[in-house]
Amino acid sequence: MTTRGKILIGLILVAVLYFGINKLVSSGAVFKKADTQSVLLNSIELPATTGGNRANIVVPLAPMPGTAPADKGTPVVWEVMAWNSQMAGMLANGGPRSTMGSSMAANGLDLQIVRQDDVSKMQADLVKNAVDLAANPETPGLIVSIMGDGLPGFSAVQTQLKKAGTQLQIIPYSMGKSFGEDKLMGPKEWLDNPKLALGKTVACYLRDGDQNIALKWCADNGLKVNPDETTYDPEAVNFMAASDFLVAAEKYILGKPEARTKVVAGKNTGVKVDVVADAVATWTPGDVNIAKQRGGLVNIVSTKDYSNQMPNIMVTTKRWYDAHPKEVLGLMTALAVAGDQVKSHPAALARAADISAAVYGDQDKPGAYWLKYYKGVSEADRNGDVVELGGSKAFNFSDNLSLFGLDEGGTNIYAAVYKTFGDVQSKLYPKELPSYVPLTEMLDLAPLKQLQQQYKGKAVAPAETQQFAAGDEIRQSVSKRAWNIEFNSGRSSFTPLAEKELKQLFDDLVVAGRLKVAVHGHTDNAGDPQANQQLSEDRAMAVQRWLETKSRSAFPDGRVQVYAHGASEPVASNTTPVGKAKNRRVEVILGN
């Protein structure tokens, strides 16, 4: 064989191996319990989001930060959970403490990153810091990072902060989000038949982001939930309390039973039963531990589906925030610079992963571990089932404009997330969370708007946007719900009462930004069948137009599809007025 022939064969083998391997890899607040009955939640759906890239502006690779402490700048402590959404923050700091050459040091900050997986400890530390700052304004400030949808529950700390003479304040910049990493893992059978989850128990950290995933999935599928973690309801999805996300995974792995009092129709039967964790809501490395140490669970739903649910939100005290406007702006600038680097350059992401390993301190989890599960992978679990593990995204400046609704024609995605899950948690746990702090009392977008003005006219890397193919049908349904949107009789125009329902629908759909929306129109059997067919189409299209007019960013071309069924699919008898009313409906299906 000639040399040229050998080279050609070698190139072909390399190509086959490359694409084959890629194909294989890509396959895939301190509270007490509430004594309350199991609840059937309204639909909880999540804001329009990111998944694919637009044509990107090339951001040059910047010099990597050094390793020696900078030993200068305003001291700040940043408490974080072990969470891959913080890659931009890790690179920006250069190490567990701000290093020479890091963007934090360049912006006048000496940031000490501390791992803290206990949300209640974060709350207590914020209160202590507020007291310390009142006594000595030179005390280093404290910032904590939490799941954005968990902030309503976290805001219960406001009572203690007000006693200390201050309140919660959001840093108006998110460095990233969970994009598959946080998930509900359950038996494979639940995918095809969600009702099999009734009478089962989910282990999780209660009243926080991971439980919200499970709650939303239950609402999507019309499943009752039992919010009392000390009782067992065979007709609802039950929850098992864990002190953190890793303990939640451990409860399933160990399979240790808990004694519960059985309740039926909201009444205590006096019967004791043992329950075990049948499913888990957790994140990496909890999902990895489940797959490797026991197996048997698959991804039921995750933040890859509910793609706007869980931005990384940083909170501090208003006392520190108001006294340090320069530092707040410097922090945001440092994160914006690092965000572009992490998103654009593998070397920057790898360095951020190494810093993450140093911060999180798990001896068996080097930087390569965090890098692998930041990207997300499909791996076989202990039983041989393929499971998706990990998955997060870093944000840049443009992503933040989209998140907080400052891009052209944008929607404040985070406001929708906050209200959606605040309402859910308040409904389920009225004693522990009778109300939650309004977002407007904690969120000041002035610094982000200031940065926006500074960036104006400059070439800025764009935000990621989700692309939808108009002809791409929903293959896997995530939820199906009939909405009581009132139309004028015989027409496709909305009644005044429809506005409230439409606004709730809008907020719900904004949270699930990666999922396609199918709007199905239905009528009763009164009148001409052909006219009913047209009326059902007109009404479904009216909903589509209303959503797209309200926000083109949340509902781009191809996301919303319309289907007309006329009177062909009744859900009740057309022989009674009540039945006819049920059949005159608009059903909304979410899926991918």
Spell out the domains of the chain, with CATH numbers in brackets: 34-46+181-302 (3.40.190), 74-178+308-384+394-455 (3.40.190.10), 477-591 (3.30.1330.60)
pLDDT value, residue 12:
44
Residue whose C-alpha is closest to residue 285's, from 293, 296, 274: 293
Q: What is the pLDDT of residues 464-510, one digit of tens each?
A: 888 887 778 888 877 777 788 888 878 899 988 888 889 888 888 88
Check whether 36 has a pLDDT greater than 70: no
pLDDT in tens, 309-323: 999 999 999 999 999
List of residues 6+ apart from 334 with CB closer than 8 A: 92, 102, 103, 104, 106, 107, 109
Question: Of the candidates 321, 562, 568, 359, which has an alpha carbon nearest to the alpha carbon of residue 445?
Answer: 321
pLDDT at site 56: 53
Q: How much of the chain, in percent, has pLDDT values that exceed 90? A: 69
Helix or strand or coil: residue 288?
A: helix
Which amino acid belongs to residue 12?
I
Q: Kindly report, residue by residue over 198-242, the tens digit of the pLDDT.
A: 999 999 999 889 999 999 889 878 899 999 999 999 999 999 999
Q: CA Rg, the chain, in Å?
A: 25
Instruction: Classify 38 as helix, strand or coil.
Output: coil
Q: What is the pLDDT of residue 449?
A: 96
Strands 516-522 and 560-564: parallel
Query: Is the Cβ–Cβ distance between 142 and 80 less than 8 Å?
Result: no
Contacts of 537 (CB under 8 A, 6+ apart): 521, 562, 564
Residue with tokens 């709650």: 215
- Highest-pLDDT range among 17-21, 49-53, 165-169, 211-215: 165-169
Q: Which residue has the tokens 């973690």?
A: 229
Q: Is the peptide bond before 227 cis (omega within 30 degrees of 0)?
A: no
pLDDT at position 511, please?
Answer: 83
Instruction: Report how far residue 419's alpha carbon sits from residue 417's, in angstroms, rounded to the nearest whole number.
Output: 6
Contacts of residue 328, defined as CB under 8 A and 6 or more positions apart, other chains included, come to 171, 321, 447
- Average pLDDT (46-73) is 72
Q: Give CA 242 to chain center in angstroms.
A: 20
Tokens coding 387: 């499971």
Question: Which residue stretches of 298-345 are H helix?
Answer: 318-323, 325-344
Q: Is the dihedral of CA 400, 388, 475, 543 positive or negative?
A: negative
3-class SS at 33?
coil
pLDDT in tens, 432-467: 889 999 999 999 999 999 999 988 877 788 888 888
pLDDT at 476: 81
| Cα separation, 303 vs 311, whole angstroms | 10
Structure tokens at 562: 């319309």
Quote the percentage of the chain above a pLDDT of 70.
Answer: 90
Rounded mean pLDDT of 405-427? 90
In whole angstroms, what is the distance from residue 51 CA to residue 54 CA?
Answer: 10
pLDDT at 21 over 50: no
Task: Kindly give, in sequence order, each residue whose CB lies less than 8 Å from that of residue 485, ignoring residues fewer than 6 positions away.
Answer: 494, 498, 501, 502, 505, 539, 543, 586
Across 139-143, average pLDDT: 98
What is the pLDDT confidence band of residue 334, given thresholds at 50, 70 and 90? Answer: very high
Q: Could you read off the pLDDT of 234-271 as tens digits, one per residue?
A: 999 999 999 999 999 999 999 999 999 999 998 999 99
Going edge to edge, which strands form the sheet with 560-564?
Answer: 477-483, 585-591, 516-522, 560-564
According to the 3-state scheme, what is the secondary structure of 520-564? EEECCCCCCHHHHHHHHHHHHHHHHHHHHHHCCCCCCCCCEEEEE
Tokens standing for residue 569: 């699919």
Question: How confident is the model over 535-542, as a mean pLDDT?
Answer: 95
Q: What's the pTM value of the predicted model, to 2 decimals?
A: 0.83
Query: In this predicted structure, which of 31-40, 57-66, 509-518, 550-559 has the lowest mean pLDDT?
Result: 31-40
CA distance 542 to 310: 31
Phi, psi of 379 (to 5 degrees): -135, 155
Residue 329 CA, distance from chain mean position = 25
Max distance between CA atoms of the chain, in angstroms, equals 85
What are the tokens at 166?
Answer: 């201050």
Which residues 6+ apart lie within 8 Å of 451 measured at CB?
Answer: 329, 332, 333, 336, 397
| Cα 439 from Cα 413, distance rounded (Å) | 12
Please name which of 36, 414, 30, 437 lies closest in space to residue 207, comparing C-alpha atoms: 30
Q: Which residue is associated with the tokens 């679990």? A: 381
Backbone dihedral region for residue 161 (phi beyond 0: left; psi -120 to 50: alpha; all else: beta) = alpha
Please tell me the distance from the alpha carbon of residue 428 to that of residue 4, in angstroms, as a whole number: 71
Mean pLDDT of 126-153: 97
Structure-token pair, residue 148: 């954005």
Identify the pLDDT of residue 30: 34
Q: What is the mean pLDDT of residues 515-533?
A: 92
Is the CB of residue 200 less than 8 Å from the CB of residue 278? yes
Q: Place 13 in a pLDDT band, splitting at 50, 70 and 90.
A: very low
